[in-house]
Amino acid sequence: MLVARYGGLPRLSRSSLRKNLALDSAKALRADGRRNRELLVAAATELIRRDGAQASLEEIARRAGVGSATLHRHFASRRALLEAVFRDGVAQLCARATAQPGTDPGAELATWLEDLTVYSATNRGLATALLAGPDGLTAEEICCTDMVRDVLDVLVVRASSVSALDENTTTADLMLLANAIAVATENDPTSARRLLRLALSGIRA
């Protein structure tokens, strides 16, 4: 609230000054929080690529220049951190699926499942995150698993509608299949592709 003028400029009451300082402090804390989260995700990306899904959380925090408490404040679990690390890549993968024309549902499902399996096999930790599923994560943390499941739901319905997929095969079955192969063939995309094609040959209608 304006209470007086000093040197031609309005002066603020003490309560208004305290309110402004509090707002500035809150903004600074939010900026620090965003910066810390970005540092943690960058450090986690590097270490998970090197060590896989079981990379040391303490080392991730050290690499980011923050304490373990800060890491756990941003990511309540290892799975939540994995989701954040792989979010952008999975989003791009899912965008390719939604761009498919739908003219050959069986082939499009097989192609995208192969893309998912190879991507998961060559990005250490992703398959572990997807296999775990969304249970125990908050709505804000769930991302990769939901995106993949939503895309697969559409592809499975399309393939089933033209009898290109065994009627008993579900989205959950295909997610488990793709991610289990990716875990078994980590850093070996050639084997991941071969095993997935072999598996799909047995479930096509």
* Total domains in the fold of the chain: 2
Domain that holds residue 134: 78-205
Among the listed ranges 11-15, 36-40, 80-84, which one has the minimum average pLDDT value? 11-15
CATH of the domain at 34: 1.10.357.10
- Residue among 136, 18, 35, 122 nearest 76 (CA): 136
pLDDT tens digits for 34-48? 899 999 999 998 898
The two three-digit tokens of residue 204, written as one number: 């096509």
- The vertex-189 CA angle with 184 and 194, nearest 5°, equals 80
Same domain, 50 and 109: no
Same domain, 23 and 66: yes
Last residue of a domain, one of 33, 51, 74: 74
> Hey, what amino acid is at 90?
V
Of the residues 25, 49, 74, the one at which a domain ends: 74
- Kindly state whether residue 7 falls inside one of the protein's structural domains: no
Long-range contacts of 170-178, Cβ-Cβ distance < 8 Å, separation of 24 or more: 173/203, 174/113, 175/130, 175/148, 175/149, 176/131, 177/113, 178/113, 178/116, 178/117, 178/120
Q: Is residue 62 domain-shared with residue 90, that is, in the same domain?
A: no
In this structure, are residues 187 and 122 in contact, taking their beta carbons and an 8 Å threshold?
yes
Q: Residue 32: pLDDT above 50?
A: yes
